[in-house]
Amino acid sequence: MKNQRKFQASSLVTAALVMAVMFGGAVLATAQTDSATSSAQTQNQQETTPSTPSAPTFKTLVNFDGTNGANGADLIQGPDGNLYGTSGGPGLLFKMTPAGRLTPVYNFCAETGCADGNGPGDLVLGTDGNFHGGTLYGGKFHDGTLFKITEKGALTTLHNFDGADGGSFKYLVQASGGNFYGTASRGGNVTQCDGYGCGTVFKITPSGTLTPIYNFCSETGCADGAILFDSLVQGTNGEYYGATWGGGPANGGTVFTITQEGTLATLYSFCVVNYPFCSDGSNPITIVLGGDGNFYGATASGGAYNAGTVFKITPGGTLTTIYSFCALVGCADGSGPRDGMILGSDGNFYGTTYYGGASGEGTVYQITPAGVLTTLHSFDGTDGNYPIGLLFQATNGTFYGTTNFGGSSDDGTIFSLSVGLGPFVETVPTSGKVGTKVIILGNKLKGTTSVTFNGTSATFTVVSSSEIATTAPTGATTGNIQVATPGGTLTSNVPFQVKK
């Protein structure tokens, strides 16, 4: 069975739901309680009038065939300007040029007993210039690992999950202080979810000291949520926000906030509106911080047509459904998104749906913060189908993504999609105190004459045509970073948040 890593089986989500997710069947909202609570959720009138992005240019860059990987995960950009990602099976970490030339970097399960891990998840670039990530399985206790790896493929295992401290790694984010905060879809409170645990949030130092900070399903009836399939996102207040797939009063999932010390507050529980039909959506995955300071995300099911939604939620927990999928005949607008969205450099959001579109095999879409959706591409199988992971926008302005199946060998594809957006720069990290080391990623950076943090000049070193090393200067305030190059001034895709 192919490895659909966003959705590993969890006993908290009912068996029917799990089988539907694992094998591509219809997703139905489920509940473990008949009680419905009041909600501040509101529903906007849906807009189906298309927005007007530039005519999209779609290209299939890689056809996975097993030998070069299969069922790829999310992509990120490295300091060398290439894109890096992982694929399923025992697992492969690869790099790919923006034009689509793929090169293997590391094959997992290369050590006896898969001591180096099995089934790698998503990667994040650390301020040390290395990639950090983890695996779903393998390691000393067979519950997965956390690792760092260089661009050349030198891997160091930093931690072996043992179940009690987490298992089935999902994602890391690096905080402004240098530590990483991560999520695991199981482990933690092993008295729940049939002894597998319902997921954790943890902190790990760059050298590998791990501290669990929260175990989900710690409250009666899993009111605090259960099962995390993706990353945390840092808000402007320094706290982290995330979503759980299940749990909450109606087992529809939650949106939560958590401090770096592990104090969790549930902001919203899904499927409490129009229960059991879940008109507010059910089963969220990932949320993203919008340019207006609110968070945006998608649910896999629920909504007006039980085909998933796009929602906005304030930091205080007021939720608005801004779009319900399958609003068009034949679900031409898409159905059943299996992940969240990313914020594009134009201020709009971009994501994928697992079903729907012209051939029923998934779409790529753009949606404005007001909820105006445009279908940019419909998959037909030859170019891939059933996309699961997040899109990624490289600093050349182009979006990249993967499909789980389809292509020439039915092992999935890597694709690019351009809507005419120009180049920009990306920073690692996206927040920090004065003096924080910052990596700036971009294109054609040689000859750069200045780097400014919201107008404050910074000292910098041009490492290569795709990387600049700098530090947050004294006097810097929250705002965009600008880089003056011979070809013009490049602006960061998101503001750099200066912490006290």
Strand partners, 212: 202
**For range 243-272, the mean pLDDT:** 96
Which CATH architecture group holds 426-498? Sandwich (2.60)
Name the one residue in this structure whose structure tokens are 């597998």. Answer: 196
Q: Could you give the CA distance from residue 405 to residue 361 in angstroms, rounded to a whole number?
A: 10
In the predicted model, is pLDDT for residue 423 greater than 60?
yes
Burial class (CB in 10 A: 0-12, 13-18, 19+), 290: middle
31 or 422, higher pLDDT: 422
Q: What is the pLDDT of residue 194?
A: 82
**How large is the average pLDDT for residues 385-403?**
96
pLDDT tens figures, 184-227? 999 998 888 888 899 999 999 999 999 999 999 999 999 999 99
Whole-number pLDDT of residue 13: 38
DSSP-derived secondary structure letter, 431: E
Task: Encode pLDDT of 148-168 as tens digits.
Answer: 999 999 999 999 999 999 999
CATH classification number, 75-121+123-230, choose in 2.130.10.10, 3.30.420.40, 3.90.950.10, 3.40.980.10: 2.130.10.10
Residue type, 175: A
Question: Rounded mean pLDDT of 261-265?
Answer: 96
Nearest in space to 245 (alpha carbons), one of 258, 233, 256: 256
Q: Give the model's pLDDT for residue 426.
A: 98
Judge whether 84 and 400 are in contact, CB under 8 Å: no
pLDDT digits (tens, 9 = 90+) for 30-50: 333 333 333 333 444 455 444
pTM, entire model: 0.90
Q: What is the mean pLDDT of residues 416-430?
A: 97
CB 324 within 8 A of CB 305: yes
Say if CB 85 and CB 104 are below 8 A apart: no
Q: Is 463 exposed, middle or buried (0-12, 13-18, 19+ CB in 10 A)?
A: middle
Work out the average pLDDT over 137-141. 96
CA–CA distance, 478 with 495 (Å, rounded to integer): 7
- Residue 17, pLDDT above cutoff 50: no
On the question of pLDDT at 2 being above 50, the answer is no
Q: What is the pLDDT of residue 189?
A: 84
Output the pLDDT for position 419. 97
Share of the chain above pLDDT 90, in %: 81
| Per-residue pLDDT tens over the stretch 442-494 | 999 999 999 999 999 999 999 999 999 999 999 999 999 999 999 999 999 99
Measured from the Cβ of residue 191, the count of other Cβ atoms closer than 10 Å reads 11
Contact 108, 118 (CB under 8 A): yes
pLDDT band of residue 237 (cuts 50, 70, 90) is confident
